């Protein structure tokens, strides 16, 4: 957790100018400010993001998901270096609601992104430990805007392979990439769970050495399944590719599909519409977080909420009536 004393009260205009100039220390300080739970820091962070808003929105935002062991870190390292070699600046963020409980975080081990973490053209930030998925997602969204204002033109947002966090990342990115393992035995099961409704592309990793045939078989199964399922957009049929994060084979093709998707979405008008819808979703998500924060911050309200929870748990009042009572406390 961020120590309040560790964050100086910044001059917003000066800090914003430093971020626009691409100063990494200023960017890190600003993201730390965003992650703070102190009320005055939160107010300053809101002003800062508002001041930088005209400098945001130009990056390609890519969400990346996959189960543990699928090779997300290796993939991000390979893709990030491929992009940097072509003149891009790459920011890597994460949405991991478990980090608040475990004290750990995906992206905590930068050794798996050794090349990327050593590059001046990359910025890697672990998942904020915000306590709730909504809180983590909100802080990650704001960190993404700051990275864009600092000149990063590709933002990669990693998430753990669970439904709610995948939806949260999908709702803050332009392209959602699902990574799969070859021959894991549950290829079609993953699709049945609704991932295909979010994914703009499925990529089978570890297509190298003895795994190539298995990777191709897995990709064929996914393609067959995708044909009978409705895609997320009428303007884009999600492709299925194989690649190797270890060797870099297939990484150029993977990026080409991401750029083709952006072109198709912009031509149809869906890109702008999706971004607008996301902004409104973010607003309501943050409103809900603010309401929950009020319930937690006021001691008297907190005590009444606990009593109401106990009454619901004991079956003395219905959840519907309890919700009305809690809503009354916020008036």
Give tens-digit pLDDT for 189-219: 555 456 767 889 999 998 888 888 889 988 8
Does position 154 have pLDDT exceeding 70, yes or no?
yes
21 falls within a domain: yes
Q: The domain that contains 15 carries what CATH number?
A: 1.20.5.170
274 falls within a domain: no
Q: Are residues 174 and 292 in the same domain?
A: no
Q: Are residues 104 and 236 in the same domain?
A: yes
Q: Which of 65-74, 222-231, 283-292, 311-320 has the highest mean pLDDT?
A: 311-320
Provide, rounded to the nearest whole percent, the portion of the chain with pLDDT above 90: 51
pTM exceeding the 0.95 threshold for the entire prediction: no
**Tally of domains in the chain:** 3
Residue 60: the pLDDT is 97
Residue 193: the pLDDT is 53
Contact between 322 and 308 (Cβ < 8 Å):
yes
185 falls within a domain: yes
Q: Are residues 32 and 152 in the same domain?
A: no
Contact between 12 and 44 (Cβ < 8 Å):
yes
Does position 9 have pLDDT exceeding 90, yes or no?
no
Contact between 274 and 265 (Cβ < 8 Å):
yes
Q: How confident is the model at residue 103 (pLDDT cuts 50, 70, 90)?
A: very low
Residue 277: the pLDDT is 94
Q: Are residues 92 and 176 in the same domain?
A: yes
Q: Are residues 79 and 181 in the same domain?
A: yes
263 falls within a domain: yes
Q: Are residues 24 and 130 in the same domain?
A: no
Tokens of 30: 């600003």
Residues 74-94, mean pLDDT to the nearest whole number: 95
- Widest distance between CA atoms in the chain: 63
Q: Are residues 234 and 286 in the same domain?
A: no
Of the CA atoms within 13 Å of residue 54, those in its CB half-sphere come to: 3
Count CB neighbours of 115 within 10 A.
12
173 falls within a domain: yes
Residues 48-77, mean pLDDT to the nearest whole number: 92
Identify which of 165, 137, 155, 171 has the alpha carbon closest to the alpha carbon of residue 258. Answer: 155
Pairing relationship of beta strands 122-124 and 60-65 according to DSSP bridges:
unpaired
Angstrom distance (rounded) from CA 60 to CA 222: 26
Residue 101: the pLDDT is 46
Q: How confident is the model over 257-269, as pLDDT tens digits?
A: 999 999 999 999 9
273 falls within a domain: no
Does position 241 have pLDDT exceeding 90, yes or no?
yes
Q: Which of 40-44, 168-172, 191-195, 247-251 has the highest mean pLDDT?
A: 247-251
195 falls within a domain: yes
Does position 44 have pLDDT exceeding 50, yes or no?
yes
Q: Are residues 188 and 217 in the same domain?
A: yes
- State phi, psi for 93 to the nearest 5 degrees: -120, 175
Residue 186: the pLDDT is 54
Query: 15 CB contacts (<8 Å, ≥6 apart)?
Result: 26, 29, 30, 48
More confident residue, 85 or 69: 85
Q: Are residues 29 and 104 in the same domain?
A: no
Residue 161: the pLDDT is 62
Residues 127-155, mean pLDDT to the nearest whole number: 86
Q: The domain that contains 202 carries what CATH number?
A: 3.40.50.300
Domain ends where: 241, 268, 295?
A: 268
Q: The domain that contains 318 carries what CATH number?
A: 1.10.287
Does position 46 have pLDDT exceeding 50, yes or no?
yes
Q: How confident is the model at residue 288 (pLDDT cuts 50, 70, 90)?
A: confident
72 falls within a domain: yes
Helical H segments across the chain, by residue range: 12-20, 24-35, 39-52, 72-84, 99-102, 114-117, 133-149, 163-170, 187-190, 196-198, 212-227, 251-268, 270-297, 299-313, 319-329
Tokens of 259: 């750029």
Residue 312: C-alpha distances to residues 4, 182, 279 (Å): 36, 46, 35
Average pLDDT over all residues of the chain: 85
Contact between 184 and 71 (Cβ < 8 Å):
no
Does position 130 have pLDDT exceeding 70, yes or no?
no
Q: Are residues 307 and 170 in the same domain?
A: no
Q: How confident is the model at residue 166 (pLDDT cuts 50, 70, 90)?
A: confident
Angstrom distance (rounded) from CA 183 to CA 216: 9
Q: Are residues 298 and 151 in the same domain?
A: no
Residue 94: the pLDDT is 84
More confident residue, 35 or 88: 88
Residue 291: the pLDDT is 85
Alpha-carbon radius of gyration of the chain: 21
Residues 93-108, mean pLDDT to the nearest whole number: 59
Q: How confident is the model at residue 224 (pLDDT cuts 50, 70, 90)?
A: confident
Q: Are residues 300 and 175 in the same domain?
A: no
What range defines the domain where residue 30 resides? 1-55
Residues 123-146, mean pLDDT to the nearest whole number: 82
Angstrom distance (rounded) from CA 236 to CA 260: 9
């Amino acid at each position: 957790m961020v120590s309040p004393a560790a964050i100086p009260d910044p001059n917003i205009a000066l800090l914003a100018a430093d971020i626009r100039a691409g100063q990494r220390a200023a960017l890190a300080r600003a993201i730390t400010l965003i992650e703070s739970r102190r009320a005055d820091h939160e107010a300053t962070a809101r002003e800062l993001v508002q001041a930088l808003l005209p400098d945001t929105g130009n990056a390609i935002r890519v969400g990346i998901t996959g189960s543990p062991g699928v090779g997300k870190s290796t993939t991000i390292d390979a893709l990030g270096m491929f992009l940097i070699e072509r003149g891009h600046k790459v920011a890597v963020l994460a949405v991991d609601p478990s980090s608040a409980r475990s004290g750990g975080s995906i992206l905590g081990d930068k050794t798996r992104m050794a090349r990327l973490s050593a590059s001046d053209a990359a910025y890697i930030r672990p998942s904020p430990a915000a306590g709730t998925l909504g809180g983590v997602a909100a802080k990650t969204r704001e960190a993404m805007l700051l990275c864009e204002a600092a000149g990063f033109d590709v933002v990669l947002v990693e998430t753990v392979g669970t439904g709610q966090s995948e939806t949260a990342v999908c709702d803050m990115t332009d392209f959602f990439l699902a990574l799969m393992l070859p021959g894991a035995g549950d290829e079609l099961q993953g699709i049945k769970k609704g991932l295909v409704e979010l994914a703009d592309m499925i990529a089978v990793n570890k297509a190298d050495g003895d795994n190539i045939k298995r990777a191709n078989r897995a990709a064929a199964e996914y393609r067959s399944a995708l044909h009978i399922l409705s895609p997320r957009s009428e303007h884009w049929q999600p492709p299925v590719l194989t690649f190797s994060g270890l060797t870099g084979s297939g990484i150029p093709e993977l990026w080409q599909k991401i750029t083709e998707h952006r072109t198709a979405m912009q031509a149809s008008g869906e890109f702008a519409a999706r971004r607008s819808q996301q902004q409104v979703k973010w607003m309501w998500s943050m409103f809900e977080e603010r309401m929950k924060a009020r319930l937690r911050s006021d001691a008297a309200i907190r005590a009444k909420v606990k009593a109401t929870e106990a009454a619901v748990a004991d079956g003395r009042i219905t959840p519907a009536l309890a919700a009305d009572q809690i809503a009354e406390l916020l008036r």
